[in-house]
Each structure stands twice: as structure tokens, then as C-alpha cells.
């Protein structure tokens, strides 16, 4: 089936005596063919709930990786799907829920804010509600945000550190990406301690019982440098350092003595299982 006005490809399943309909709002790098969401849809169908899985982007739009982060565009596609549902007499009166994942969760929340009472509920599975921050106060629908905090076998908090090299960062929010050189770390910092080990790269796994001695050494609070999407070397001490207990803060810590800034590469959005934000692991 094709959802107007741009003929987005979709799959609609309506069981007998359907009690409602769930619209799946896929995350980045995913599509209506996501095995995970397909399984959820089958389970919902068995329980008398109709489902609509559809691609939020056309094939041409999906070639531009930036579109998977274009929340206003994705939200508009959800609104268009809702308008289409309202035009189909056999499903028009069903209560509608939005099920979003990753960036799709943000699009679902923005759409719910725009549609107000038309959306019965919003569920976010491992989503990015922060990307809908400006619309959250307008969402009137009951919303459930699901995170995998208890999935200990698959979730680990990993820190990264470096002593030197280049990074890709902006000077201000919404500013352009720049290639910047990291300043030498402060003498009393975790970075200086790791640099003194004199290894190009290594991994500390604090969950490994064999690393108890290292865990105790790194439990003492030291300055840690944080370089993110914003980096201002001229005010680095006040903006990018904070006291931290490395072994208490992370499950593991990755060290690269010298880092090299990432450069953009063309990536095609594929079918199948969506990426797990932010690394796709």
C-alpha cells in the first residue's frame, strides 16, 4: 500500500474486531522491514490490535543520511499517516497509538503534540525524546518511555579518553563542525595518568574481577576531561574538566593516546534491524 501524499510504502494489518491501531515510527537506519518491530506487530495483531508499519522516507530521501535526523520531516510523515487513517472508513474510528524507536520516538512525540487529542498514547522504546524537547510540553497523550536499564547483559557504560590529537566539534550550539587540536591534559588529570602508561591504546574492563587492583586505583577522584560536540580549548579547564571516579562512573574505559577527528562519509540507510543509538552495536 502507498500512503499519500508522497506514496510512502506501508504494511497495514487489521485483525477481526480490532480494538485499536498502532502506528510504528521507525528509528534511524530502519524501515518497515525491521524484524524487531515486525515481531511486535505480529504480537499486537494476535491481541486484536491493528498495525501500520511504513517507511517514513522515500527511497530517494533515504539516500541522504541527514534526513533520518530531520525530526520535523519525520513528524510530518507521521501526521500524514494519521490523516490517511482518518480517511479510511474501516479504521478511521479506531484509537491510535504511536510506537516509536530511536529518532522515530521524537517524531512520534512531535506528531502527538501537533495532533493533540487524536493520538491515544505514545510509547518510546529506546527512543530520543530529547530531540522533541521543544514540543514535549504540548504533548497531551499518555506517554510511556521504555529504556533498557535492566538489560545488564547487553548494556555497558563505556568512557573514552585521549591525550592528544584532533577532534571534530563546534564552538557553539548549532555552530559548524570544526577540526580542533586537543590541548595537552592537565597534570592532575586521569588523562595524564593514562598517558604515563605509555601505550597507544588500551581497554580497562572494570567488571572483570581480575582488575580489582586497577579498579581501586582509579576509584580515587581525579579531573577527567570531557570533549563532546562542543569544544572550546581556550577555556578548557572551566568548561571541559570535572572531578570523576573513573571506575565508579564507567563499566569500561577505552584509551587512545592520540586521536584523529572523524570525517563525514556517505552512508546509505538499509533495511532490517535498526541501529542502536548511538554506536549501532
Is residue 272 assigned to a domain? no
Taking residues 36-47, report their average pLDDT.
92
Is residue 270 assigned to a domain? no
Domains: count for the chain: 2
Residue 98 is part of which domain span?
2-146
Give the CATH number for residue 194. 3.40.1660.10
Taking residues 164-192, report their average pLDDT.
93
pLDDT at 1: 85
Q: Using an 8 Å Cβ cutoff, are 249 and 157 in contact?
A: yes
230 and 251 belong to one structural domain: yes
* Per-residue confidence band for 153, with pLDDT thresholds at 50, 70 and 90: low
Taking all residues of the chain, what is their mean pLDDT, rounded to a whole number? 88
38 and 122 belong to one structural domain: yes
118 and 229 belong to one structural domain: no
Q: How far apart are CA 234 and CA 238, in angstroms?
A: 10
Q: Using an 8 Å Cβ cutoff, are 204 and 211 in contact?
A: yes
17 and 124 belong to one structural domain: yes
pLDDT at 277: 44
* Per-residue confidence band for 267, with pLDDT thresholds at 50, 70 and 90: low
Taking residues 154-166, report their average pLDDT.
87
Give the CATH number for residue 115. 3.40.50.1820
19 and 130 belong to one structural domain: yes
**φ and ψ of 249, to 5 deg:** -85, -35
107 and 235 belong to one structural domain: no
pTM over 0.85: no
Terminal CA-CA length for the chain: 32
pLDDT at 33: 82
**In 27-66, where do the E strands start and end?**
49-54
9 and 142 belong to one structural domain: yes
Give the tens place of pLDDT for each residue, 204-215.
Answer: 999 888 888 888
Q: Taking 60 as the threshold, does the pLDDT of residue 272 lie above it?
A: no
- Angle, helices 71-87 vs 103-115, to 10°: value is 60
Q: Using an 8 Å Cβ cutoff, are 91 and 85 in contact?
A: yes
Is residue 278 assigned to a domain? no
Q: Taking 50 as the threshold, does the pLDDT of residue 156 lie above it?
A: yes
41 and 120 belong to one structural domain: yes
107 and 10 belong to one structural domain: yes
Per-residue HEC secondary structure of 108-135 comes to HHHHHHHHHHHEEEEEEECCCHHHHHHH
Q: Taking 70 as the threshold, does the pLDDT of residue 279 lie above it?
A: no
Amino acid at each position: 500500500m502507498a500512503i499519500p501524499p508522497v506514496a510512502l510504502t506501508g504494511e497495514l494489518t487489521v485483525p477481526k474486531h480490532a480494538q485499536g491501531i498502532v502506528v510504528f515510527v521507525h528509528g534511524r537506519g530502519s524501515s518497515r522491514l525491521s524484524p524487531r518491530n515486525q515481531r511486535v506487530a505480529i504480537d499486537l495483531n494476535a491481541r486484536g490490535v491493528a498495525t501500520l508499519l511504513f517507511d517514513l522516507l522515500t527511497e530517494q530521501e533515504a539516500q541522504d543520511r541527514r534526513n533520518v535526523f530531520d525530526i520535523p520531516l519525520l513528524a510530518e510523515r507521521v501526521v500524514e499517516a494519521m490523516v490517511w487513517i482518518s480517511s479510511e472508513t474501516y479504521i478511521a474510528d479506531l484509537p491510535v497509538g504511536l510506537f516509536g524507536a530511536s529518532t522515530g520516538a521524537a517524531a512520534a512525540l512531535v506528531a502527538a503534540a501537533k495532533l493533540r487529542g487524536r493520538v491515544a498514547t505514545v510509547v518510546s522504546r529506546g527512543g530520543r525524546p530529547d530531540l522533541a524537547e521543544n514540543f514535549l510540553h504540548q504533548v497531551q497523550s499518555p506517554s510511556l518511555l521504555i529504556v533498557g536499564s535492566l538489560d545488564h547483559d547487553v548494556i555497558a557504560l563505556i568512557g573514552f579518553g585521549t591525550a592528544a590529537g584532533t577532534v571534530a566539534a563546534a564552538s557553539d550550539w548549532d555552530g559548524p563542525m570544526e577540526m580542533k587540536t586537543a590541548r595537552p591534559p592537565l597534570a592532575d588529570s586521569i588523562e595524564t595518568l593514562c598517558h604515563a602508561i605509555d601505550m597507544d591504546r588500551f581497554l580497562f574492563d572494570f567488571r572483570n574481577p581480575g582488575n580489582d587492583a586497577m579498579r581501586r586505583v582509579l576509584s580515587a577522584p581525579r579531573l577527567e576531561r570531557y570533549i563532546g560536540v562542543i569544544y572550546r580549548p581556550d577555556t578548557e579547564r572551566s568548561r571541559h574538566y570535572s572531578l570523576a571516579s573513573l571506575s565508579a562512573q564507567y563499566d569500561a574505559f577505552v584509551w587512545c593516546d592520540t586521536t584523529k577527528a572523524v570525517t563525514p562519509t556517505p552512508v546509505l540507510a538499509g533495511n532490517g534491524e535498526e541501529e542502536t543509538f548511538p554506536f549501532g552495536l
